[in-house]
Amino acid sequence: MVEQRELLAEIEALGEKIAEARQAVGRRFIGQERVVELSLAALLCGGHGLLVGLPGMGKTMLVDTLGKVMGLSSGRVQFTPDLMPADILGSEVLETAKDGTRSFRFIEGPVFCQLLMADEINRASPRTQSALLQAMQEHEVTIAGQHRALPAPFHVLATQNPIEQEGTYPLPEAQLDRFLVQIDVDYPDRGTERDILLATTGVETAQSPRIFSAEELTSAQTTVRRMPVGEKIVELILDLVRACRPGEAEAGQAVSESVSWGPGPRAAQALMLTVRARALLNGRLAPSADDVMALARPVLSHRMALSFAARARGESLAEIIDGVAREVTRAEAA
């Protein structure tokens, strides 16, 4: 009981600090509350986020602001077709000392930071994209046969333009699965856009203070993993993920006819983590069914693919996921 009370007090204190961080981010990245919520959830879970939106939507500003508020050292890579893996990871250079001796010295690439912005990640070749796979999964890189650990905590927030696809290389499924959530950045509403105009076209712009340190964020990630999850929520997550896989007994007609492949176990793990983070962001001590439903799209949409026939019919993964979520919720309530 003592340990439980201590955990609840720890969660409450963290919830207050997270609310402060959320307000700090909102001073500079105006509006788009859901985008901020999902981005903070990815960081609280120790995961990575894929920001999908048109140019000029503030994605770069969001990542920069998150780095400052969360106290993380930041790096940025502008992905282009001619970018090479060494441009991200670093390389060894041969140096000659004054006495004539030669030795190799490793020069760290921009990946050696705590928050890496991979801007327009789908513009680089598959070879360069794959340079991030080991970094995102194992938080280390292998160069010249030597393993080099990345700073902790390590996060990647990548951006992608959903419209302009000329000269791009779609991310492979294995790399998409490394992203905890896909965060869709849509147009702001009229009121929010007015606030953005007034706040960003003057002489001074708002600054966001540092709320967390890297050590405090690491501690917060441990606290999130310790948050209790009810048995009904666990079953709901399992039902939802398995119902999105064609060929499973739980899959409905829409999934069986329209989905070519569905989410794997990593999707269920992502939901287990992100529902805790969302509960914390909303001032609650444990996740609810609403958290699972709210995170179904961000967690599952990039881990599924429509069949050719479904694309020809104009169907969308978002509608299929929403339909499955409603059916699963009704079945749980019955």
Confirm if 159 and 53 have CB atoms less than 8 A apart. yes
- Listed as own residue / partner, the contacts of 91-99 with beta carbons closer than 8 Å and 24 or more positions apart are 91/143, 92/143, 92/144
Confirm if 284 and 43 have CB atoms less than 8 A apart. no
| pLDDT given for residue 47 in this prediction | 93
- Provide the percentage of residues in the chain whose pLDDT is more than 70: 98
Mean pLDDT of 243-269: 87
| pLDDT given for residue 268 in this prediction | 94
- Residue boundaries of the structural domains of the chain: 1-226, 229-334
Mean pLDDT of 6-35: 89
- Provide the percentage of residues in the chain whose pLDDT is more than 90: 44
pLDDT for 140-188, tens place per residue? 998 878 888 999 899 999 998 877 666 678 888 888 889 999 999 988 8
Mean pLDDT of 290-317: 91
pLDDT at 2 over 80: no
User: CB-based contacts of 41: which residues, under 8 Å, 6+ apart?
Assistant: 181, 274, 277, 278, 281, 295
pTM assigned to the model: 0.90
Provide the greatest CA pair distance for the chain: 81
pLDDT at 298 over 80: yes
| pLDDT given for residue 334 in this prediction | 60
Q: Find the range with the poorest average confidence among 55-64, 201-210, 272-281.
A: 201-210
Which pLDDT band, with edges at 50, 70 and 90, does 8 fall under? confident
Query: What is the pLDDT of the chain when averaged over all its residues?
Result: 88
| pLDDT given for residue 173 in this prediction | 84
CATH node for 229-334:
1.10.8.80
User: CB-based contacts of 7: which residues, under 8 Å, 6+ apart?
Assistant: 223, 226
pLDDT at 94 over 90: no
Top CATH class of 1-226 equals: alpha beta
Instruction: List, in sequence order, every residue forming a beta bridge with 293; answer none if it has no partner.
Output: none
pLDDT at 333 over 80: no
Provide the token pair at 112: 């050696």
Which pLDDT band, with edges at 50, 70 and 90, does 197 fall under? confident
Mean pLDDT of 87-98: 84
Mean pLDDT of 297-312: 90
Provide the token pair at 181: 């959530």
Mean pLDDT of 317-331: 87
| pLDDT given for residue 166 in this prediction | 67
Which residue is it, tokens 């290389």? 169
Mean pLDDT of 122-133: 87
Mean pLDDT of 270-290: 93
Provide the token pair at 172: 């492979």
